[in-house]
Structure 1
């Protein structure tokens, strides 16, 4: 993460006040109001300060954390614009300049414990090619301040899915766990982090015969260390991989991605039955990949579970991911499916109070 604060403010009174507060942090400050410059700087900034006129441009960048909204004292604050920009807090300047400085001083720090006291959701596919990793990455991107864990390090690496293969940080083979409890802060500090704040525990790639194998003990040690954080686990695909997993006791919820096809639905029925036996709640996403032989009601009858979201075939997404990874701004159908799942999980953010603080 780069050490600068972006000031995207056009108000002639508020702009200098915001710049003064940002400069007091000791970080570099970049100011701009051109939408093209905003799009270029937002993903790399330590924090972003925006106002009513630039909020829509900041929102279009897909960033989900360390955004602060400002307005001229005495107000009012345009809370609709602040929410649209995904702002964490809103301030009236110059009256609340000290509060803005305090917020900026903690921006970009390691993930704070989640407001839901830490949750772990596993995403599994009923069969291969269901789009499990894509949905897991999309879910992490829709949530804020999330750790995304690659449960199948032989699958090529989740860092490729997010276009973060060049991002520095340790991957599974380099993660050496000593005796005793793993410290979450040390782990988070060592991991790759994307522009929108997702920390990755990812597999890697090798052209040689790599002896590394991810053990249940290693995976569960990581899950236990992150129990006060939001975690999305890519649990792989198919009943065989699912039944062999040792992480049942460490997840709060399982999302099953099911293609609308006969064999996939039959496989999903085995997974939902196992989840029911272990008392693990599930959310089912119905995936349409080209041609679907089953209707939603047919799949629900087969798997004995309700469909909470449907995901259509997204023709451009495969090409986009090959060229640069999952876009920061998710395709609307994928984002909507992720939002429905988050609502089903009960991980909806706390409403803003009258000051605009979540």
Structure 2
């Protein structure tokens, strides 16, 4: 078997290695244990999925940030320290074995997918996570990336409303609920806004798609796109290469983010700090208090409410401050 089709596991803890390999074997997923530094460097960028134990974090730190990389271990404190150093999400065993199974399965079924997936999660309500997701998608599209923005927010009201495209023709999730297995190219059928495809939830048939439809559609988009941005609402369990928490620059929002991370068992790969009236903490202080990397800072932009009233996308020309901030956010996430 080609070594680049195998999941890369780098660890030294024998019990952890045994647990991961046993789970992978049960799923029919091939793993490759790498402990040598030169061998790790040679195979790092080509693996469909990288599983890094905290005892190998220092070696992985020199190899460059790669999507589809997860920290896996048994000690919460060691995982948190490694995540703070590397910026990857974590899976703590044995409690999160089912999530590791999902990660392994998704990596291999989508091994031919090229898309980089970014999930945007609001640590609390009213922070504009959906606006941030659309802005990131627009920033990616403006840089020539084939981009789709996908709404998977519980109780989502429809991203098409946010960008003023509720009357625009195109496929919504309600048209794809019965999708199963391999699925053809869906991107061109989506609502198209400023060079990006938009897959919104339906107001006529509310509710999230089931696991089979979600897997099939995201797999199809993954094979066709460069970037997929997921508006995850408050759901921090969504699988993605990058997990961004949108956090307000205030004490209550920071506390909410800490609770969200604890309840979901997920550590964000980066934070997006939202400032404005009543949110005056330094973005770096917010990031430091949560032990996460600062991906970007979104300031208050008075043009956003006016654009919403006019049915215009939040990244329209009048929102100059938001456009600048989301451009910096894209650079911080893509090259951070």
Q: Does the Cα contact within 8 Å between 1:157 and 1:202 map onto a contact in 2? A: yes
- Who wins on radius of gyration, i.e. which is larger? 1
Deviation for aligned residue 1:203: 1.3
Structure-1 separation of matches of 2:303 and 2:320? 12
Deviation for aligned residue 1:263: 1.7
Which residue is 2:121 aligned to?
Answer: 124
Count how many residue pairs are aligned between Structure 1 and Structure 2.
217
Listed as ranges, the matches of 1:207-286 within 5 Å are 210=205, 212-228=207-223, 229=225, 230-237=227-234, 241-242=235-236, 245=237, 247-248=238-239, 251-272=240-261, 282-286=269-273
Q: Does the Cα contact within 8 Å between 1:147 and 1:201 map onto a contact in 2? A: yes
Q: Deviations over 1:101-122 (max 9, x none)?
A: xxxxxxxxxxxxxxx9320101
TM-score (norm 1): 0.55
SS in 1 for 2:203: coil
Structure-1 separation of matches of 2:275 and 2:164? 24
Which residue is 1:142 aligned to?
Answer: 139
**Distance 1:212-1:346 versus aligned 2 partners, 3 A rule:** closer
Which residue is 2:172 aligned to?
Answer: 171
1:324 aligns with 2:336: no
Which residue is 2:281 aligned to?
Answer: 294
Which residue is 1:188 aligned to?
Answer: 187
**Distance 1:125-1:179 versus aligned 2 partners, 3 A rule:** closer
Gaps of 5+ in 1: 1-115, 349-358
Deviation for aligned residue 1:212: 4.6
Q: Deviations over 1:216-259 (max 9, x none)?
A: 3322322222223110100103xxx32xx4x32xx110121111
Pairing partner for 2:196 from 198, 214, 221:
198
SS in 2 for 1:180: coil
Q: Does the Cα contact within 8 Å between 1:172 and 1:204 map onto a contact in 2? A: yes
Pairing partner for 1:310 from 292, 297, 301:
297
Deviation for aligned residue 1:141: 0.8
Gaps of 5+ in 2: 1-112
Which residue is 1:151 aligned to?
Answer: 152
Structure-2 separation of matches of 1:346 and 1:168? 31
TM-score (norm 2): 0.58
Deviation for aligned residue 1:342: 2.1
**Distance 1:284-1:179 versus aligned 2 partners, 3 A rule:** closer
**Distance 1:271-1:344 versus aligned 2 partners, 3 A rule:** farther
